[in-house]
Amino acid sequence: MAAGRASAYAIGLTGGIGSGKTTIANFFQEYGISVIDTDAIAHHLSAPDGLAIPAIRQEFGDAAIASNGAMDRNWMRGLIFSDSGAKQKLERILHPLIRQECEKAAALATSAYVIFVVPLLVESGNWRKRVNRIAVVDCLEQTQISRVIARNNLSQEQVLAIMRAQVSRDQRLAAADDIIVNESDLSAAKRQVQELHRQWMGLASAR
């Protein structure tokens, strides 16, 4: 097992924006599998009294903190858009804390395997060493665009800009050990989840 990998059999679940990662993760939770969502952890860390708030205030100043004590996401988004180095500064604060919280959550997990939901898993690079398998939730790019427009009330150009900041669909699929196709048929996606759950239970028990 690679250094830094969680002790439980670990699956990294990823996919582009609008691919339906949360929906698929919820299907696995129905089997009693522990799901650790790095986005949820990041939000918790930057919420009022979050562990990251003191470092964010020190790095970016009081303007980065909203009146409720949370990181001001709109302010930070604007800064990152105008200052290419700001994103790296924020990541240097958040990523070690996210990793720490992931390890804590994995240590408490009781299921045969653990799923880490990591939107930018392929982009971050080091997750490959921390999981046993990478599963990609995949759908057509037009499906992604339609879902995000409906969900987030963004324009098509805004969605395309987010997608361009992520690795391409082909790059993501090339990194996958397992692929879950999540188009319009949720029953088909559930069947794929059922089969992968069976496979992963076998792999976890054979370690």
Task: Report pLDDT digits (tens) over 22-53.
Answer: 999 999 999 999 999 999 999 999 999 999 99
Question: Other C-beta atoms within 10 Å of 49: how many?
Answer: 8
- CATH code assigned at 174: 3.40.50.300
In a domain, 51, yes or no: no
Residue 90 falls inside a structural domain:
no
- 38 inside domain: no
177 found inside a domain: yes
**Quick check: 139 and 20 in contact, CB under 8 A?**
yes
* Any domain includes 85: no
Total number of domains in the chain: 1
Is 68 part of a structural domain of the chain?
A: no
The whole-number pLDDT of residue 7 equals 64
Render pLDDT for 116-130 as a digit per residue (tens, 0 to 9). Answer: 999 989 988 788 889
Does the structure show a pLDDT above 60 at 6?
A: no
Tell me if 185 is assigned to some domain.
Answer: yes
* Averaged pLDDT, 65-84: 90
Amino acid at 73: R
Q: Is the pLDDT of residue 100 over 70?
A: yes
Going from the C-alpha of 160 to that of each of 39, 87, 123, 168, the distances in angstroms are 20, 19, 17, 11
> What is the signed CA dihedral for 2, 4, 9, 14, rounded to 10 degrees?
-100
Burial class (CB in 10 A: 0-12, 13-18, 19+), 76: buried
**Rounded to an integer, what distance in angstroms lies between the CA atom of residue 25 and that of residue 29?**
6
Name the residue range of residue 179's domain.
9-33+111-205
- Judge whether 134 lies within some domain: yes
User: Quick one: what percent of the chain has pLDDT higher than 70?
Assistant: 97
